[in-house]
Structure 1
Amino acid sequence: MLRISLLIVLTMFPAAIIAQGFGGPVRVIDGDTLDVGATRVRLHGIDAPELGQRCTNADGVAWDCGTWAADQVRRRIGGRMARCDTVDTDRYGRTVATCAVAGQDVGRMLVTEGLALAYRKYSMAYDLDEKRAVIAGIGLHAHRFDRPADHRRTVREDRATQTAAPDPDCAIKGNISRSGKRIHHLPGQADYARTVIRPGQGERWFCSEAEARAAGWRRARR
């Protein structure tokens, strides 16, 4: 009778039951995102610096603490076997989960070692772990930095500003490619909307194609 009841439950709710627990080898994407087997995982309850995010040390020198944090996580759990429990799915389609390696809660380990912060918006599970790391000045807490959520918001605001022409009459985007080619994009062209202007890297806005050509920019092909 018990076997029949279990079969009925599995038949009615197979996806929910299968989704609860999963495991596999770890591939580290960044400080709070992993591939566990074939599943992309956003660790629940923690928030790590973004790749490329800058921190400032005691001497006032800025450095890429986001990449550093990811490298530290990779050293600790990269290639090891993890067991995870699903909590949710985020807007990017990633599985939000808590994971353990060798029986140790990965989220707690990273917050305790100052490689990530407690993400109190979603969980208070690691609140005290972060406070202890702050007091001890461990990892990130030995430096000055923006909380990752604040950093992401600033980046979004900057991008919104940089993709909108400061003068509606000067809306041609003068972009510089990675190979150093100077290409200008007209409103309506294929890559116009996603092209970001970075004045600090020599990119600029133009009021006419003639102005862009005179400055050394060629028109985008599409």
Structure 2
Amino acid sequence: MQVPLHSASSILGCSNIRTRRRLSNLRQPALRITLHAPQCEGLRCSSKLPLPFPRGWASPICSFLAAIVCLISSGCAEAEHQILEGPARVIDGDTLEVAGQRVRLFGLDAPEKAQSCSDGDGNPYACGLRSKEALEAKLRGASVLCEVKGRDLYGRNVSRCSVDSKADIGQWLVSNGYAIAYRQYSKAYVDDEAVAQHLGRGIWKGDFEVPADWRREQKNGSATVMRPPLSMPTIKDSKLEGIASLWKRLIEGNQEASSRSCNIKGNISKRGRIMFLPTDKGYDSVKIDTEVGEKWFCNVAEAKKAGWRQTKV
């Protein structure tokens, strides 16, 4: 007797169509074999066909598989709306540990801890460690709130985080040149990156390699310090020009100060602490680096009190 072949869905006991087949063209008229397609109702599965496992396992197996699907779908949805809050431990320039969970900051990519860049004079420095240390200083003693957007391949919570429920940590890192916008996943910080590049902040003061390229070349054993590609953003439109102009006048740690009145540059050079007024020669060429103690001042008296003197140029 030839045994008919059944579909994979019949063998596994999962089909939405209830059918009945009769095999009547047999040499022995008295013998009738009735085959029932399996019935699936909700999470209950049954079949009168031989199964590749004990019949009593059919319902638990179907229930288990259905539960797995539910857990995966609901788990992803739950992760996307999860909130992590509390003090943060900095792992590197774009990774934190908050509430006992690893957090990968969304929309940006910072130099790796072992990565080196070169400054404006061509001298190498540990830009990855500098990004990490800057982030540690920013978050020290502060409460961090992270909104989870999903998980990456390493199981980290990809999140957009703020410090003290106000400042966007990712925006701060990118606009100060401690990280670049991660265009592969988001364009959220592209404008902030353009500002950092225009003002020569952080890694934009000298040469650096895009972190993703550096990681890839590390695997191949050929990572080097190199100039950013020409395709990196430059400020071209009036909107970004306005953003850059505003950033030039912002005082570090005092964002509420008037951008028009606080435009005195407190520069530090071999000549000492020199202040530059907008009317002074060379004012536009002076770059302020708050990392080395340089400052913006609102008036001459304030600058003098802090130890700066007027330029003789």
Deviation per CA, 1:67-123: give whole Å up to 9, x if none.
111001100013421111111111111111101112111101111111111001000
- What root-mean-square deviation, in Å, do the aligned CA atoms of Structure 1 and Structure 2 show? 1.9
Going from structure 1 to structure 2, the CA distance change for 1:59 and 1:100 (only over 3 Å counts) comes to same
Higher strand share: 1
Q: Distance in 2 between matches of 1:68 and 1:52?
A: 11
Higher relative CO (Cα under 8 Å, sequence separation at least 6) belongs to 1
The secondary structure found in structure 2 opposite 1:154 is: helix
1:57 maps to a residue whose letter is D
Question: Residue in 2 aligned with 1:164?
Answer: none
Question: Residue in 2 aligned with 1:23?
Answer: 85
- Does the 8 A contact of 2:76 with 2:150 survive in 1? no
Q: Distance in 2 between matches of 1:98 and 1:147?
A: 21
Structure 2 counterpart of 1:116, from 161, 164, 179: 179
Which structure would you say has the larger Rg?
Answer: 2
- Does the 8 A contact of 2:181 with 2:189 survive in 1? yes
Deviation per CA, 1:2-28: give whole Å up to 9, x if none.
xxxxxxxxxx95884475212111111
Question: Residue in 1 aligned with 2:100?
Answer: 38
The secondary structure found in structure 2 opposite 1:50 is: coil
Deviation per CA, 1:174-209: give whole Å up to 9, x if none.
xxxxxxxxxxxxxxxxxxxxxxxxxxxxxxxxxxxx
1:123 maps to a residue whose letter is S
Pairing 1:60-209 to 2, within 5 Å after superposition: 60-102=122-164, 103-158=166-221
Q: Distance in 2 between matches of 1:57 and 1:104?
A: 28
Q: Distance in 1 between matches of 2:132 and 2:160?
A: 17
- Unpaired runs of 5+ in structure 2? 1-72, 223-313
The secondary structure found in structure 2 opposite 1:133 is: helix
Tell me how far 1:62 sits from its aligned partner: 1.1
The secondary structure found in structure 1 opposite 2:212 is: helix
- Does the 8 A contact of 2:109 with 2:179 survive in 1? yes
Going from structure 1 to structure 2, the CA distance change for 1:29 and 1:14 (only over 3 Å counts) comes to closer
- Does the 8 A contact of 1:28 with 1:78 survive in 2? no
- Does the 8 A contact of 2:121 with 2:206 survive in 1? no
Question: Residue in 2 aligned with 1:186?
Answer: none
Going from structure 1 to structure 2, the CA distance change for 1:158 and 1:77 (only over 3 Å counts) comes to same
Aligned length: 148
- Does the 8 A contact of 2:122 with 2:206 survive in 1? no
- Does the 8 A contact of 1:27 with 1:79 survive in 2? no
The secondary structure found in structure 1 opposite 2:172 is: helix
- Unpaired runs of 5+ in structure 1? 1-11, 160-222
1:44 maps to a residue whose letter is F
